[in-house]
Amino acid sequence: MSKLITAKIDVRKIDKDRLFKGTKGTYLDLILIPTPNSEYGDYAIKQSISKEERENGVEMPFMGNAKIAVQKQESQLEANNSAPVASSSKDDLPF
């Protein structure tokens, strides 16, 4: 089965100093921490910090949750996404 992860974050908690410019836009690094026994989701979401910051005890605020949502079986998805096959008969030939 294919899996899809859905996430919701509180954008008011974004530390805007951690936003960075990339070639195609402005980005924010997030981390997902597994929370298998939580009633709120399968993952907790926080902004990413550097290794040095983690070692110095810096902790970013909790921003939201993410859940795993199961989709259709892959074979069904492939069947729905495949292009229709053109039928060929002698009447369709231009010669």
Higher per-residue confidence, 76 vs 53: 53
- DSSP secondary structure letter of residue 77: H
> Can you give the pTM of this predicted structure?
0.66
- Which structure tokens are listed for 80? 């729905």
| Closest to 44 in 3D by CA, of 33, 58, 59 | 33
What sign does the dihedral 59-61-65-66 (CA atoms) show?
negative
Which pLDDT tens digit goes with each residue over 7-42?
Answer: 999 999 999 999 999 999 999 999 999 998 999 999
Work out the average pLDDT over 51-62. Answer: 92
Report the chain's mean pLDDT, rounded to a whole number.
82
Within a 10 A sphere around the Cβ of 41, how many other Cβ atoms?
18
Q: Answer for the pair 1, 8: CB distance below 8 angstroms, yes or no.
A: no
Work out the average pLDDT over 46-54. Answer: 92
Which pLDDT tens digit goes with each residue over 58-68?
Answer: 988 899 999 99
